[in-house]
Amino acid sequence: MTTQTTTQPTAWRPTTPQTATPPVVDRETWLRDRATLLLREKAHTREGDALAAARRRLPMVEVDGTVALVGEHGPRTVLDMFDGRDELLVCKHMWHTGKGFEGQCPGCTATVWNFQDATYLEARGVAFAIWCEGPYDEFAPYRAFMGYTVPWYSVHGVDSPGISDGWITTYLRVGDRVFQTYETDGRGCEVMMPALQLLDLTVHGRGEQWEDSPEGWPQGPTQEWFRRDGRPVAQWTRTGVSPVGDTAHDHCC
């Protein structure tokens, strides 16, 4: 029996190396400072709850639920993607035609890789799908390569407001009508990336130059660590991959 193994990529090296560490204090002082920060964290949580409440009070706009997108089993309408549920949450995925697996967007890869199981959304009555910008026949092998199991559909060539635009978008079904209720992009997509939220708890954070960190903290360009040895880092979990040369890559999202 042959055991397949994955190749390990080169370790991340910050552009600015670590030259300092946090000050060392006694536990009483540490607990006091932690308690002070906790008050700010609780206020941040309450403000997040208030924003969520405001989202629930946004108006909605009707979209064309009859638009059909090509997926694994052929064309399927947006209305059918609800699978009988009341809500649908969609995440877009860029596609760089002709760039191969290794040339696909590292930001989109990080977003989708960080959320691969919609069980708890579905339990709450929310369907989930990925809408990819590329032709289905071109990205289907990539989806299989990455091991994704959530439904992927192609919005290639589609021009329909509320469907062909946006990035993370939510919809509500009312009978046979479909309404857009929310959308976000940019850093709003971090909601699907728990790895970033966990890194924000660590002393070095994300290790990116835009962060407000003390002098001497290790840092590098934004999302540089999303790629390693010419590939988005998640691809190094797949069997049989190898470095593909130049690690330079345009920042696409």
Is 118 within 8 Å of 240 (Cβ atoms)? Answer: no
How many C-beta atoms lie closer than 10 Å to residue 45's C-beta?
10
What confidence score (pLDDT) does residue 247 get? 47
Lowest mean pLDDT among 56-60, 110-114, 159-163, 245-249: 245-249
Residue 228 has pLDDT above 90, yes or no: yes
pLDDT tens, position by position, 46-100: 999 999 999 999 999 999 999 999 999 999 999 999 999 999 999 999 999 999 9
What confidence score (pLDDT) does residue 25 get? 98
Residue 18 has pLDDT above 50, yes or no: yes
Q: Which of 152, 110, 147, 131 is nearest to 252 (CA)?
A: 110
Residue 146 has pLDDT above 50, yes or no: yes
Ordered by start, the domain boundaries in the chain are 55-189
pLDDT tens, position by position, 88-137: 999 999 999 999 999 999 999 999 999 999 999 999 999 999 999 999 99
Quick one: pLDDT band at residue 9, thresholds 50, 70, 90? confident
Burial 107-134 (b: 16+ CB within 10 A, else e): bbbbbbbbbeebeebeeeebbbbbbbbb
Lowest mean pLDDT among 67-71, 163-167, 247-251: 247-251
Phi, psi (degrees; rounded to nearest 5) at 81: -70, -15
Is 60 within 8 Å of 182 (Cβ atoms)? Answer: no
What confidence score (pLDDT) does residue 252 get? 65
Give the E-state strand segments of the chain in sequence order: 61-63, 68-71, 74-77, 87-93, 126-132, 152-154, 168-174, 177-184, 227-228, 231-232
Alpha-carbon span 39 to 42, nearest angstrom: 5
Long-range contacts of range 123-126, CB-CB < 8 Å, 24 or more positions apart?
A: 125/85, 125/86, 125/87, 126/85, 126/86, 126/87, 126/88, 126/89
Phi, psi (degrees; rounded to nearest 5) at 75: -65, 140
Is 178 within 8 Å of 158 (Cβ atoms)? Answer: no
How many C-beta atoms lie closer than 10 Å to residue 96's C-beta?
14
Quick one: pLDDT band at residue 2, thresholds 50, 70, 90? very low
Give strand pairing partners of 220.
Answer: 208
pLDDT tens, position by position, 182-216: 999 999 999 999 999 999 999 999 999 999 999 99
What confidence score (pLDDT) does residue 39 get? 98
Integer angstrom CA distances of residue 60 from 147, 179, 182: 34, 6, 8
Residue 45 has pLDDT above 80, yes or no: yes
Residue 3 has pLDDT above 50, yes or no: no
What confidence score (pLDDT) does residue 7 get? 73
> What CATH number matches the domain at 55-189, 3.40.50.300, 3.40.30.10, 3.90.1300.10, 3.30.750.24?
3.40.30.10
